[in-house]
Structure 1
Amino acid sequence: MKAVELNPPGSFCNWKPSTLEELKNNSIADSFAGANLLFENEYVKLWDITLAPGERLPFSKKNTNYSWTCLSGGQTISHYTDGTIRMYKIEKGETTFFQFKNKHHVSDLENVGKNIVVIHILEYKHEDF
Structure 2
Amino acid sequence: MARGDKIRLEQGTTVTLGDVGQEILLENDYTRVWEIVLEPGESQPWHLHHNPYLVIAIEAADNRITYGDGTYRDVHESVGRTISMDPSPVHMLTNIGSTRYVSRLIEFKDQGENLPGGWKSAE
Query: Stretches of 4+ moved more than 6 A in 1?
Result: none
Instruction: Tell me what 2:3 maps to.
Output: none
Taking the aligned partners of 2:94 and 2:74, their CA distance within structure 1 comes to 9
State the identity %.
27
Q: Deviations over 1:7-58 (max 9, x none)?
A: xxxxxxxxxxxxx7xx7212324x51x5211111111100000111111111
Instruction: Tell me what 2:61 maps to.
Output: 74
* Amino acid corresponding to residue 85 of structure 1 in structure 2: Y
Taking the aligned partners of 1:27 and 1:121, their CA distance within structure 2 comes to 21
Q: Secondary structure at the match of 1:58?
A: strand
Taking the aligned partners of 2:69 and 2:42, their CA distance within structure 1 comes to 23
Instruction: Tell me what 2:84 maps to.
Output: 97
Gaps of 5+ in 1: 1-19
Pair 1:127-2:88 in alignment? no
Gaps of 5+ in 2: 1-8, 113-121
Instruction: Tell me what 1:12 maps to.
Output: none
Q: 1:98: Cα distance to partner?
A: 0.4
Is the 8 Å Cα contact of residues 72 and 116 (structure 1) preserved in structure 2?
Answer: yes
Normalised by the length of structure 1, the TM-score is 0.72
Taking the aligned partners of 1:48 and 1:55, their CA distance within structure 2 comes to 15
Larger proportion of helix: 1
Taking the aligned partners of 2:101 and 2:67, their CA distance within structure 1 comes to 20
Answer 1 or 2: higher relative contact order, Cα 8 Å, separation at least 6.
Answer: 1
How many residues are paired up? 103
Pair 1:26-2:10 in alignment? no
Q: Deviations over 1:66-116 (max 9, x none)?
A: 00100111101111022211111111100111011xxx5111011111111
Instruction: Tell me what 2:99 maps to.
Output: 115
Taking the aligned partners of 2:70 and 2:81, their CA distance within structure 1 comes to 26
Instruction: Tell me what 2:38 maps to.
Output: 51
Is the 8 Å Cα contact of residues 63 and 105 (structure 1) preserved in structure 2?
Answer: no
